[in-house]
Amino acid sequence: MYDTWWTVTAAALAACLGLSACAWISTHLRVDAALHTVALFAHLASLVLGFGAVLVADYWALLWLTGRSTLHDTLTGTARLHVPIWAGLAGLVASGAMLQPDLGSAPTRIKLGLVLTLTLNGLQAGLLNRRTAQRSTTALTPRLLAWGAATALVSQACWWGAVIIGFRNSQH
């Protein structure tokens, strides 16, 4: 789907608009206790789905790095995880809008920044996947390896950061 930086940029603009719309909606939505409970369950289920799939994708990468999987098998396995990753992230954003986030709070703003970064990182990862798949029969270049490592590190930092902030915010 993302075969050029132009398509990644167009998707990134759409994602920024979507996240902004969800943030705006969250300030205008009235949520009763029952809907809040449903939204919280959906939020946690979406976290399990999305972040769980990310952890499996990273596990596939570790298998390849340790020589226990081929690059082709790794790319095939991780490609199958795109739908649950994106579904989980979309579920987190949609349900998060119903959890009445305090947009004036610095930790909440940081979390929203992490979610935006995570989304943009995921979009460019689609282009990385395509470029890596094109070279799957030859050795990957150091540039592609560094790009992949940076993508994985950003992903993990954003997921864990958002989880920690979400947990801390739920304690108040």
CB 162 within 8 A of CB 111: yes
Gyration radius (Cα) of the chain, Å: 17
What is the C-alpha to C-alpha distance for residues 39 and 31, in angstroms, rounded to an integer?
Answer: 9
Residue 139: per-residue pLDDT: 84
Residue 1: per-residue pLDDT: 65
CB 78 within 8 A of CB 54: no
Task: Encode the chain (172 residues) as per-residue pLDDT tens digits.
Answer: 667 899 999 999 999 999 999 999 999 999 999 999 999 999 999 999 999 999 999 999 999 999 999 999 999 999 999 999 999 999 999 999 999 999 999 999 999 999 999 999 999 999 998 899 888 677 889 999 999 999 999 999 999 999 999 999 988 7
What is the C-alpha to C-alpha distance for residues 165 and 145, in angstroms, rounded to an integer?
Answer: 30
Sign, CA torsion 75/78/114/112: positive
Among 50, 62, 83, 71, CA closest to 159: 50
Distances (CA, A) of 75 to 33, 53, 144, 154: 43, 14, 14, 19
What is the C-alpha to C-alpha distance for residues 64 and 58, in angstroms, rounded to an integer?
Answer: 10
- SS3 label, residue 70: coil
